[in-house]
Structure 1
Amino acid sequence: MGKQGWAVLFEAYAQKLIDEFRVPGAMVAVAKNGELFYEKAFGYRDREEQWPVNLDTVFGIGSITKSFSCVAIMQLQEQGKLSVHDPVVTYLPEFRTPDEEQTKAITIHHFMTHTLGFPPLPSLIPAMQRSLEADPTAADLLKAFEAQCQKPIDTFEELMAYIGDLSFELIGKPGEQFSYSNDAFGLLGAIVERVTGKSYEAYVKDHILQPLGMDRSVFHVEELGAVDNCAMLYTPKVQEGVREVLRAPLWWDSPSMRAAGFLKASARDMLQYAELFRTGGLGKGTRIISEESTAQMVTPHAKIDPLRSYGYGLGILPFSEGRTLVQHTGGLKGITAQMFIIPEEGITGILLTNMDDAPITDLTLGLLNSVFERPIDTQYATFANYEASLAELQTCTGTFKSGEGDEVKVRFDENEGKLVLILDKTELPLRPIEKDAFVFTRRGIDTVVHFVRNTEGEVKRFALFSRQLPKVEVVNA
C-alpha cells in the first residue's frame, strides 16, 4: 500500500475522532530522515473566523517543554557548570521537603526523571493564579482550589516556600518511585537561571530556539508580532449534560513553572527540534547537545509501568519489533500535543491541537499504525492475563486523590469477581496483567495502571496516567 493508501485510512480515522470530540483545529506532520513526508491540517486555528491551520500555526505544546528544560541542563553539564548528579540544594539552598535528609539527597537527575519522591502537589494552580483570575472559563477551577489559592506563586522563591510549607507524605526515597512532578520541572528553570545568570526563557531562546531556527517558538505569543497565525484556544465544557467546546482566548501562564510546560511552537519548528533526538544532538547542521547527552536523555532511567519508562524529559516505550518510541505529550487549557521520534526508522512527528482533552493518544497511535501499515487499532503492547487472588483484588479498593484535584475510585464487583475503576463517572473493568498491575480499555486504547503497597502490603497509592494518587479512604465493596 503506497503512502496515499495509508494516509487516506489515517485521515478517515482521525476525522472521525476530531468530529466526535469537536476538536476545532489540529496539525499533524511527520518527517523521515529530516525530510517532511506527511502533513495534514484539520479544521481551523480559529473556528469562528474559519482561519485555516498550517505548518507555521503556533500552538501550545504544554509539557513537551519539559524536554527543552532537560536539553538546557545537559548543555550546562557539558560546559562543566553543573552535574545532573549534584544535589538540588547546591543551587537551590532554600528548597525543602517534609524530610530534611531526603531534601539533601535529591539530585537534578531525580528532578529530570520525576523520581524525587513527591506525590502530585496542588502548586500548579496557585502558580497559574494570575492568569486564571483573568480567565472567565477558569472560574470553576479556581473555586475548586480556593483553599490553595490564598496568594499567587509568582517566583521560584515563592514556589519553594510554598512546597516547604506543605504537609504531605513522600512516596519514596529519591530514585525509588516515579510520579510526574510539575514542581520539579518548574524548579529546573530556577537551576538554569541561577547557574547562567539569565532568565530560563532567555536561556532557552538563546541556546536552543535560535540555533535551531525555531523563530515560531515563544513563551509569550505577543513576541510573534503582527504576523500572528496563532491558534485560538478552546475548552470543552459539559453544560446540562451536553458537551460544548467554548472559545477561551486567554493563555494560561505561570512564571514559576514555565520550564514545566508553557512554550508555544509551530509544527515546522517542532519537527526541527525533534531532529535532536534522531541525530544524536544535531539540528540545522549545528550541534546543540553532544551524542552522549542525547543518549542520556533517551535512556530509560525510571520505570513508569510495565510498558513505559522515562528518560530526561522524554517518555520511552517499545514500539513493535526492534523499534523504540521516544515521545512526550502536553496538555493545558486550549492545548493537547504530542511529539514522537522512532530513532531506528528515522521518523519524527508532531501532533498539535487547540483544545484541551483532545484524543491525542488515539490520534498518535492511529498515525503510527498507519505509517507502519499495521491495523489501525493495533495496541502499543499486548499483555497476557495474570491470575490475581481474591485477597489481592479486594485489598485494592478505595478512593485515590491527588493534590492536583484528580480523584478516582476502585471498587470490587462481587458478581464479576473483578476490580472496576470509576473514572470521570465511567466504570472501566480492570484486567490483571501482573501482580498489582492492570489494564483498562477506553475508546479501544489500553492503559496500564498499578497499585503501590507499603512494606506491610497495604495499598497506599494508585498509579494512573504517570501520577501516583494517594489513597484517601476505604470504600466498601
Structure 2
Amino acid sequence: MPGASVCVSDDSGILFARGFGHCDAEHTHAVNPDTIFGIASMSKSITCLAVALLENEGRLSLDDPVSKYLPSFRLPGVPREAVLVRHLCEHRTGLPPLPTLSWSMAWNTPLEPWREEVVKRIRDSSESRVETVDDIIAYIAAGRGYRLLGAPGEYMSYSNDGYALLSSVIDVAAGEPLESYVERRIFQPLGMSRTTFDIDRAKALGNITSLFTWDGDVLRSTDTWDVAPPYRGCGWVKSTATDMCRYYLTLSRNGLFHGRQLWPQSCVERVVGRGFAELPQGVYCFGLNKRLFEDVAICEHSGGLTGVSSQGGFIKDGAFAVTVLTNLSGISCAPISNAAFNLWLGLSVDASHSWLHPQADGVENPAFYAGTYVSLEDLDEQLGVTADDAGQLWGHGEKGTERLLFCGGSVFTPEGKGKLTPGMVLRFLLRDGECWAVAIGSRIYQKKPQ
C-alpha cells in the first residue's frame, strides 16, 4: 500500500491520527492525517443525512415518490408512484446492478494510456455517455438488457444509480445543488475545511494524494480522478481522516458537536436508528451498514474507486469513531477499522468480526444452486457455481475457483484457500421453488437463463 491515513476519536478528542507511506510515486510527500483522499462510497451517508435534514425542514418526505422530484423517472412495468425516496436510500428500488456508472466513468474520465484497452471495451459496450441524470433515467425507463429484481422495497441490492437519482432529488428539494447544501449544512458547521465534492478545490487546498492502482504486476500512479457527473452523492466526496472522524463522531453522539445539537437527533435516528434491526450479519440503513458486534451497534461503510480504498464508521450511541483512507485501489480497509473497534471494546486486536459459521455436514442437493450468476455492473461480471460428484459446491470467478462452505440456510462462504474474497457472504435467493439469484455481499447477481 503506497499510503494511508488513520484517525480514531472518542469523546475526549483524537486518540490516534497518523499518516503512513507517501502521496506520490516519487516518495517526496509523506501522508499525514490532513492529507486529502477520495472517500468513494463513504459519501453515501452524507447524502442520506442531507435527505434527513431536508425532511426535518419540511422540504421532502421519505415516502414521497421519486417521480415528484424527477417526473420522467419510472421503472418498466411498475406504477410511477411505487418507487419512494426511502427506496433510493436503502437500495431497495428493485434495480439490479447496472453498467451505467462504468459507462459514465469510461466516457467522462480523461483517458490514461495504460487503461486504454479496458476503457475501449466499456465504451464499445455502452449505450450512452451517461453525462446527466436524464441519461440514467432514460436507460432505466427503456428496460433493455436488465431484469428487475422484484417490487420496490422487496429486495436490497446495492445501486450506485439509486444514489445518482437521490443526488438530483436533493437538488430539487433543496432548491440548490447537493454540493452547496451539504457544504452549508454539514461540512461548514463541523469545520470540515478540507472536505469537498470539487476536485479542483481539493487540489487547490494542497496536500492531496496521487492515486495508485495495480495494472497486472505494475503499480500505476495518476493524478487523474474518476469523473462521473451524475453520481455526485454516490461517491465523489474528497476528505481527510480527521475531517471524516469528526463527522462520524458527531453521528455517534446523535448530532451533538462540542456541546451543541448540530443536527436534530431525529435526523440521525432516520439514518441509522431503531427503524433498522441490529443483527450480527448487518442491515443496510441509509448510507451506512449497521451490525451488532459484542452487544454494540457498529455503523460503517467502505468505499472504492480508482486509487481509493476506504472504510469509516462509529459505535452508535458510543462516542467512538474511526476512519481509514488509502490511495490504492481494490483493497479492504476493514481489518484496520475492526482492529480499532476491537481495542476500544477491550478485545484482542485481531478478534474476528465474522458472523459466519461453516457447518461440517454440508448442504443437501448442492446441484440445486448450480448455475451462472451475472451482474451487469462491471462488463457482465459472473460467478459460476458448480457441484462435484462428492457433493461439494464450488465458486468460479474472474480471480479463480474455490470451494464454498455451507453456513446454514442458503448462505455460503469461500473456503479461504483461493483468490475469491475471504469472508465473502453468498446468500442464494429462492422463488417458486427455484434458485433465481445470489446476493454476493450487498449486490444481487441474477441467474443466467439456461
Q: Which residue of 2 aligns with 1:337?
A: 310
**Is it true that 1:457 corresponds to 2:430 in the alignment?**
no
Q: Secondary structure at the match of 1:446?
A: coil
- Measure the CA separation in 1 of the matches of 2:263 and 2:211: 33
2:213 to 223, 231, 235: 235
1:400 to 340, 362, 373: 373
Pairwise mapping of residues 142-291 of structure 1 onto structure 2 (< 5 A)?
Answer: 142-167=119-144, 168-224=146-202, 226-238=204-216, 243-291=217-265
- Measure the CA separation in 2 of the matches of 1:172 and 1:300: 26
Contact 1:183 1:257 in 2 (8 A): yes
1:430 to 394, 404, 425: 404
1:33-91 CA-to-partner distances (Å, cap 9, x unmatched) read: 15100123221111314311111100000001111110111111001111111111111
Relative distance call for 1:185 and 1:375 in structure 2 (3 A) is: same
- Measure the CA separation in 2 of the matches of 1:213 and 1:274: 13
Pairwise mapping of residues 321-332 of structure 1 onto structure 2 (< 5 A)?
Answer: 322-332=295-305
1:140 to 90, 97, 117: 117
Contact 1:55 1:268 in 2 (8 A): yes
Deviates most, 372-381 or 81-90: 372-381
Contact 2:194 2:243 in 1 (8 A): yes
Q: Secondary structure at the match of 1:208?
A: helix
1:448 to 425, 442, 447: 425
Pairwise mapping of residues 309-328 of structure 1 onto structure 2 (< 5 A)?
Answer: 309-320=283-294, 322-328=295-301
Pairwise mapping of residues 11-160 of structure 1 onto structure 2 (< 5 A)?
Answer: 23-33=1-11, 35-101=13-79, 103-160=80-137
1:409 to 371, 379, 384: 384
- Measure the CA separation in 1 of the matches of 2:275 and 2:124: 36
- Measure the CA separation in 2 of the matches of 1:421 and 1:396: 11
1:331-361 CA-to-partner distances (Å, cap 9, x unmatched) read: 0000000111013542100000001112312
Structure 2 residue identity aligned to 1:289: W
Contact 2:106 2:123 in 1 (8 A): no
Q: Taking structure 1 as the reference length, what is the TM-score of the superposition?
A: 0.87
Where has structure 1 moved over 6 Å in runs of 4 or more? 302-306
The structural deviation recorded for 1:230 is 0.1
The structural deviation recorded for 1:118 is 0.8
The structural deviation recorded for 1:285 is 5.0
Relative distance call for 1:137 and 1:332 in structure 2 (3 A) is: farther
- Measure the CA separation in 2 of the matches of 1:351 and 1:451: 31
**Is it true that 1:467 corresponds to 2:440 in the alignment?**
no
Q: Taking structure 2 as the reference length, what is the TM-score of the superposition?
A: 0.92
- Measure the CA separation in 2 of the matches of 1:413 and 1:302: 39
Structure 2 residue identity aligned to 1:86: D
Q: Secondary structure at the match of 1:198?
A: coil
**Aligned pair count?**
443
The structural deviation recorded for 1:427 is 2.3
Structure 2 residue identity aligned to 1:184: G
Instruction: Name structure 1 gaps, 5 residues minimum.
Output: 1-22
The structural deviation recorded for 1:147 is 4.1
Deviates most, 165-174 or 261-270: 165-174
Q: Which residue of 2 aligns with 1:9?
A: none
- Measure the CA separation in 2 of the matches of 1:148 and 1:288: 46
**Is it true that 1:419 corresponds to 2:397 in the alignment?**
no
1:419-448 CA-to-partner distances (Å, cap 9, x unmatched) read: 122233332322222221112254895232
The structural deviation recorded for 1:281 is 1.5
Relative distance call for 1:362 and 1:424 in structure 2 (3 A) is: farther
Deviates most, 57-66 or 161-170: 161-170
Contact 2:310 2:332 in 1 (8 A): no
1:314-336 CA-to-partner distances (Å, cap 9, x unmatched) read: 1011112x111100001000000
Contact 2:109 2:228 in 1 (8 A): no
Relative distance call for 1:24 and 1:104 in structure 2 (3 A) is: same
Contact 2:90 2:284 in 1 (8 A): yes
Relative distance call for 1:367 and 1:272 in structure 2 (3 A) is: closer
Deviates most, 429-438 or 266-275: 429-438
- Measure the CA separation in 1 of the matches of 2:122 and 2:278: 28
